[in-house]
Each structure stands twice: as structure tokens, then as C-alpha cells.
Amino acid sequence: MTSSADATDAATSPEPADPGPAHPDLRTELEALTTEAFRPELSEIDRLPTLDIAKIMNGEDATVPAAVAARLPQIAAAIDAVAARMARGGRLVYAGAGTAGRLGVLDASECPPTFNTDPKQVVGLIAGGPGAMVTSVEGAEDSKELAAEDLDALALTADDTVVGVSASGRTPYAVGAVEHARARGALTVGLSCNAGSALAAAADHGIEVVVGPELLTGSTRLKAGTAQKLVLNMLSTITMIRLGKTYGNLMVDVRASNEKLRARSRRIVALATGAADKEIEEALAATDGEVKNAILTILGGVDGPTAARLLAENGGHLRAALRTTAG
């Protein structure tokens, strides 16, 4: 039986409403969580007009950014630690169950097209494996051992970071992942939505974004899921900024894998350089479509191979490479 607050709604992941006498400790534990609290003032929400329900839900969602803002110092400290390790070749690994796991997989999967990262550089692990993205895998989230096995398959190093994600902050898979990673010398981050969580306590960097009780009791894919998505956006995006994957606010490491992205690449080069279309096309052709390299050839007045060498020598940071061309 799925037991974590990260599980999806009963409509998609059926489980008995009453865990019964065999699970009294778990039931008490869940009742103590802020994310699981019952809100009697909403007990007749199903009788309201649809527009009124939408207004209430929108109002609830509007409180999430403030909850994230309250944890910005902890988020920034975690990002700096992650970026330092990734600059040495480390990986960023998300581990979670249910909604939390899916959000980690989503964030990881968007890094290659957005920042031209190797698919193995940012990894999302979900309890129960890839099939759990669309189908509940009963019991997978309750296993710390499964988390250890999934991480061992990645051969963790001290330069890697493992981010355990769990709305409740008690999900065994997420807590187990952080505990196992820390024992292996990796950096660990624990992201949850309850104060005083076991997940935060187990991690080097604990981030507890307390969003309060949900609109639907226990449905932590709502405010808690939104909060997790916002924090994961920050973790990956700002880390990539620190790694030189952007130039100002331009995605200069974008991978042009389709026509839309090829058009975006041309536009980014234009915004960065102010060059004419013909010069932009020539620069992209000379650098095999690499946006960062193309910008360097135009602004630095170097050829394609030289641009590639200068970027390699400067850790991929375009600003640093440009400084070497200033004469």
C-alpha cells in the first residue's frame, strides 16, 4: 500500500481510506503533517459553483511563491554547493516518489534541450522506475533499499549531488536516497514541504518550503507540487547560470534539435551580437550550430576552431572567453 504524502490522488492511485489498526503509527504521523491537515472550512467545497472553486484554488496557489521566498537563503546555499561540484564534473540527481519523483524526472529531462547538457549530467530517479511516471508502483516509495540500489547503479562520486524530494519529508525512498548518498560522500539536499522533516535532517542542505494544508486533504500534487517545481526550477537553472550555460539571460547553450530551436538559436545570436542575418548564418555554419561559439566568433573576431578552444580553456564560460580576445 502506498503510504507517502507524495502519492497521487486516490483517483489515480487507489488505496484504502483507512489504513486500519496495522498502521497506527503511520496514521498518527501523517495526521501530524501540515500538508495532510484537514480544513473544515472547505468541507463543502464540492457544493460551490465552479468559478468559486477556481477562485479559491487560485488564491491557494498564490501563497506558494511567498513560502518559497522564505527559504531563498537555503536554496541559494544549496545551489552554490551543487554548482561547485558540477564544475568539477559532478552530476545532479533527483530522487523521489509519486508526484515528487515525476517533477524531478521532468526537470532533469528538460536540461539537455535547454542547456545542452549530457543526459547523464542531470538525472531523475523515481521510485519504481520509469514505469512509475504514469502508473503507481505499489510499495516502491516505502523502500530505502530500492533507493540505494538505484543510486549504486549510477556509481556515485563525491562530486555528485543527490536531491531527495518529498512533500511529506518522510518518504522512505527519498530519505533513503539522501542517507545513502551522504554515506558515499556525495553532496545531499532534502526538499520537503513540512518543517522538522526527516528528509531535511538527513541532508547537508535542508530546504523546507511550508505551504500549509492543501485544498484537497493530502493531495500534495497541488501547492506542495507547485512549490517543489519552483525550487527545482531554481536549482537547475541557477546552477546552469553558474556553470556558464547562459550569457546574461540568454540561453547560449541551447541545443537546436528542431526548427523552432534553430530559429531561437539565430535570435539568441542576434540579441547577443546585434549582427546582421548573413553574419549570423555564417557564424552558426562555422561552429556547427553552436550558439555560444557563434557569438564568440562574432564578438571576439575569431574563427570557429579558435572559439571552441577558448571556450574549452575557460570552462565553457563565454564572458571569460571573450575577455581573452580583448586586445
- Residue extents of the structural domains in the chain: 64-242, 259-325
Residue 41: partners with Cβ closer than 8 Å, 6 or more residues away: none
How far is Cα 323 from Cα 327, in angstroms, rounded to an integer? 9
The mean of the pLDDT values for the chain is 90
Q: What angle do CA 209, 210, 213 make, to 5 degrees?
A: 140
DSSP character at residue 247: B
| Strand locations in 92-236 (E) | 92-96, 122-126, 161-165, 187-192, 205-208
Structure confidence by residue, pLDDT tens digits, 293-304: 999 999 999 999
Beta bridge partners of 163: 94, 189
Q: Which residue type, as a one-letter code, is found at position 308?
A: A
- Residues with a catalytic annotation lie at 110, 141
Q: Do 64-242 and 259-325 fold alike per CATH?
A: no
Quick check: helix, strand or coil at residue 12? coil
Please give the model's pTM, rounded to 2 decimal places.
Answer: 0.86
Specify the CATH architecture of the domain 259-325: Orthogonal Bundle (1.10)
User: Structurally, what CATH architecture does the domain formed by 64-242 represent?
Assistant: 3-Layer(aba) Sandwich (3.40)
State phi, psi for 4 to the nearest 5 degrees: -80, 155
Of 31, 2, 24, 5, which is closest to residue 14 (Cα–Cα)? 2
| Amino acid identity, position 276 | A
Task: Please report, to the nearest 10 degrees, the dihedral formed by the alpha carbons of residues 317, 318, 319, 321 taken in order.
Answer: 90
User: pLDDT digits over 102-157, tens only?
Assistant: 999 999 999 998 898 999 999 999 999 999 998 877 678 889 999 999 999 999 99
pLDDT higher than threshold 60 for residue 325: yes
In the chain the first and final C-alpha atoms are separated, in Å, by: 67
Q: Each residue of 10-62: pLDDT tens digit? A: 334 434 344 444 455 666 666 678 777 778 788 899 999 999 999 999 999 99
Strands ordered across the beta sheet of 161-165: 122-126, 92-96, 161-165, 187-192, 205-208
Q: Which residues contact 281 (CB under 8 A, 6 or more apart)?
A: 266
